[in-house]
Each structure stands twice: as structure tokens, then as C-alpha cells.
């Protein structure tokens, strides 16, 4: 078992620890989905239905590119069925809220970011179980894949509709409260990940870390990085503007790790969860670090070109305005009007300098 994620599951069989993690993961998922719903405006949804570019990009990025990428990485690194299921599950998840935060930092298109996250979450109800079924066929003869709880996965996904719908309702009736809930959900994302890392590292670290091979760490590093590249390439194919390309890139590489963790924790037997639990956490760590590097590089180099483009547009407007003023001055320079008294006005002709 040393070359896979198998093993280390005995600690998760502890009833109190298992229940505590289940409650934490469930609450975090509800808060995250509530925040996602609060970020969606009905007007934006109507626009996207009329011109569903965001929906199409979410479909291609999250349920074509990322599942295929996860499957290929699992094959290339010859993962066993336990590790492969963890990687596939993470690759088949919809987009996460981290992409919305990062899109703000790189001057991305926030409307596109939110719509892609919401669309991929709704599409996951049908496409995530389908992708898992299709790509797990390679390991179908193993006991774990035969027990893959696709029904429980669908049930967990369906349970996210209630907080999303509640969030949309709050946005419609109480916009200020919705803005506050969006901020709370983003902070809960960070706090939850930190708590999970501390709990698993403190209580299960020595036993669990001994069973995680280098190949799993390598995949956790490469997968979000490749996702960012695939998203940028996809947006380039659609001939989108640079700020939309950055948005699609982040949306494709950032996965909903809370959902992945919840599915692993709530749908698989406790004796197996220890062997698969760490991958979404590792993915969250590296997707955040790589997105942070993305933001840093943009702030150092890309933002100057962004400002120059913006200033260039303003300069064009100024030049047009100056030309207009010069033309006005030229038109009125043939004569000046002087008032000598209240009853008479004299026109003095002047010669225009050529």
C-alpha cells in the first residue's frame, strides 16, 4: 500500500472524528453554495441565456477538459483505483469560488466568472456522475469502482441547489445582505481549508502522509497548472479579450474542493475516506499557490499593458476633443464681438493667421 493512497483509513474510522469532519464539511459546503447564489443576478442569467458563451465555456472547461486531464494524469502516473478515484472526482467537480476572488485581482470579467461558476455547478448535477462513470471504466474490475456511489454523488449535488436558490433570492430582495454573504463565503473557504489541514495534519499526519506517494503530489501540482493553461487556450480559440481569457483560465483550473471533500466524506465508507481525503486538500493548496503566482505576475508585468490600453482609449478621446475645440476656435476666429453699450453691438473683423 506504500505506492498509493490506500491505507491511513483506520484513523477516519473513529466515530467522533468522522462525525466532526462531516459536520464541518457539510456546513462549509452550504455556506459556499449560499455565497455563490448571492453572487448571481437574475439579469445576468437572462443575458447568458440569450448569448450562452459563459455556459459553453463552463461546459467545455469543467466537464470536457478537466475530467480528461485527470484521467490522463491517473494513467500516466499509473495510480491505483483509490488514488485514481480521488483524482477523477476532483477533476469532475465544477468551478469553485476561489476563481471569483482571483478574477477580481487580475482585472477579469466578474460577470463571466460568476456565471461560469454557477453554470458549472448546475451542469454538475447531470454531467459529474456521467463523467465519473465514463472515466472510471478503466478501473471497473476493482472493488472501489464497483462501489462508486454515483447515486450518493447526485444526491449531494442536488442538496446544493437549496442554498444556491436561497442565495439568488437574497440577491434579488436584499442586495446589500447578499454582498455581505458573498464576502463571508469567501472567508469561510479559506478558514475551512486551514482547519481541515490542521485537523488532518495533527491527528492523522504521520499515518496518512506515509501512504501518499510522490506521484500524487506531482499530480496535485500539475493538474491546476494545466487547467489554467487549458482555460486560457480555450478562451483564445473563442477569440476573447485578454481580461476574459484570464477569467476563463482561472475558472477552468480552480475546482470546488469543498464539494469534492464533501462527496468523499459523506458518500464513501469511513474506512476508505482516509486513503482519499488528502488529495482535494493538496489540490486546494497548489491551486491557490499557483493562482497567487498568476496574480503576482499580472500585477508586476501584465497590469502595465492593461493600463496602457485603457490610457490609449482615453488619449484617443482627448485627441478627438482637442481637434473639435480647434475647429471651433478656427470657425470663430474670423470675427470678434464687442459690446460698446447696452443698445449697440459692433462686429470687428480680424484676419485669421494662416
**What ranges do the domains of the chain cover?**
24-311
Alpha carbon of residue 328 to chain centroid: 51
Give CA–CA dist 213/3, Å, rounded.
6
Phi-psi domain of 336 (left: phi exceeds 0; alpha: psi -120 through 50; beta: other): beta
What is the pLDDT confidence band of residue 247, given thresholds at 50, 70 and 90? very high
- Give the tens place of pLDDT for each residue, 151-174: 767 777 777 788 888 888 888 888
Burial label, 305 (beta-carbon count in 10 A; 0-12, 13-18, 19+): exposed
Give residue 159's pLDDT: 74
How does residue 220 score in pLDDT terms, banded at 50, 70 and 90?
very high
- Residue 294 contacts residue 102 (beta carbons within 8 Å): yes
Taking residues 43-55, report their average pLDDT: 73
Q: In the predicted model, is pLDDT for residue 62 greater than 90?
A: yes
Cα-based distances in Å from 182 to 27, 39, 61, 104, 190: 15, 6, 24, 13, 13
Q: In this model, does residue 350 exceed pLDDT 80? A: no
Q: Which of 98, 97, 80 is nearest to 1 (CA)?
A: 80
CA distance 91 to 63: 8
Burial 122-159 (b: 16+ CB within 10 A, else e): bbbeebbbebbeebbeebeebebbeebbeeebbebbee
Whether the CB-CB separation of 139 and 84 falls below 8 Å is answered with yes
Res 18: pLDDT? 59
Q: Do residues 109 and 48 lie in contact, with contact meaning Cβ atoms separated by under 8 Å?
A: no
Mean pLDDT lowest for which of 51-65, 185-199, 201-215, 221-235? 201-215
Q: What is the pLDDT of residue 77?
A: 94
Question: Using CA atoms, how far apart are residues 95 and 119, in angstroms rounded to an integer?
Answer: 9
pLDDT attached to residue 303: 66
pLDDT in tens, 282-315: 898 899 889 889 989 888 887 655 555 555 444 4
Confidence of residue 117 (pLDDT cuts 50, 70, 90): confident
Share of the chain above pLDDT 90, in %: 18
Question: How far is 276 from 74, CA to CA, in rounded Å?
Answer: 14
Q: Whole-angstrom Cα distance, residue 166 to residue 198? A: 31
Q: Please determine, looking at this structure, whether the domain spanning 24-311 carries the CATH number 3.40.50.720.
A: no
pLDDT at 45: 67
Is 119:48 a contact under the CB 8 Å cutoff? yes
Q: What's the pTM value of the predicted model, to 2 decimals?
A: 0.74
Q: Which residue has the higher pLDDT, 146 or 305?
A: 146
Amino acid at each position: 500500500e506504500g505506492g498509493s493512497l490506500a491505507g491511513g483509513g483506520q484513523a477516519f474510522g473513529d466515530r467522533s472524528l468522522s462525525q466532526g469532519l462531516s459536520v464541518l464539511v457539510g456546513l462549509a459546503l452550504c455556506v459556499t453554495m449560499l455565497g455563490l447564489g448571492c453572487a448571481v443576478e437574475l439579469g445576468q442569467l437572462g443575458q447568458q441565456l440569450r448569448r450562452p458563451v459563459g455556459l459553453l465555456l463552463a461546459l467545455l472547461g469543467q466537464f470536457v477538459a478537466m475530467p480528461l486531464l485527470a484521467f490522463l494524469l491517473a494513467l500516466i502516473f499509473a495510480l491505483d483505483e483509490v488514488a485514481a478515484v480521488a483524482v477523477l472526482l476532483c477533476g469532475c467537480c465544477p468551478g469553485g469560488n476561489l476563481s471569483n476572488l482571483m478574477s477580481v485581482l487580475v482585472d477579469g470579467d466578474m460577470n463571466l466568472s460568476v456565471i461560469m461558476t454557477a453554470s458549472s455547478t448546475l451542469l454538475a448535477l447531470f454531467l459529474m456522475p456521467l463523467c465519473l462513470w465514463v472515466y472510471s471504466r478503466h478501473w471497473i474490475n476493482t472493488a472501489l469502482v464497483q462501489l462508486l456511489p454515483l447515486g450518493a454523488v447526485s444526491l449531494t449535488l442536488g442538496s446544493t441547489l437549496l442554498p444556491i436558490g436561497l442565495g439568488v433570492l437574497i440577491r434579488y430582495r436584499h442586495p446589500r445582505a447578499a454582498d455581505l454573504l458573498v464576502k463571508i463565503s469567501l472567508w469561510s473557504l479559506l478558514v475551512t481549508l486551514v482547519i481541515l489541514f490542521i485537523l488532518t495534519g495533527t491527528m492523522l499526519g504521520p499515518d496518512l502522509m506515509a501512504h501518499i506517494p510522490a506521484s500524487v503530489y506531482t499530480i496535485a501540482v500539475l493538474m491546476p497548472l494545466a487547467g489554467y493553461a487549458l482555460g486560457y487556450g480555450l478562451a483564445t480559440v473563442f477569440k476573447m479579450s485578454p481580461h476574459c481569457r484570464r477569467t476563463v483560465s482561472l475558472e477552468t483550473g480552480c475546482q470546488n474542493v469543498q464539494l469534492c471533500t464533501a462527496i468523499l466524506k459523506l458518500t464513501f465508507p469511513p474506512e476508505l475516506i482516509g486513503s482519499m481525503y488528502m488529495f482535494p486538500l493538496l489540490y486546494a493548496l497548489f491551486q491557490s499557490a499557483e493562482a497567487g503566482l498568476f496574480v503576482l505576475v499580472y500585477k508586476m508585468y501584465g497590469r502595465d499593458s492593461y493600463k496602457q490600453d485603457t490610457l490609449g482609449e482615453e488619449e484617443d478621446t482627448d485627441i478627438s476633443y482637442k481637434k473639435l475645440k480647434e475647429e471651433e476656435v478656427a470657425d470663430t476666429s474670423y470675427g470678434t464681438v464687442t459690446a460698446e453699450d447696452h443698445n449697440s453691438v459692433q462686429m470687428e473683423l480680424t484676419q485669421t493667421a494662416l
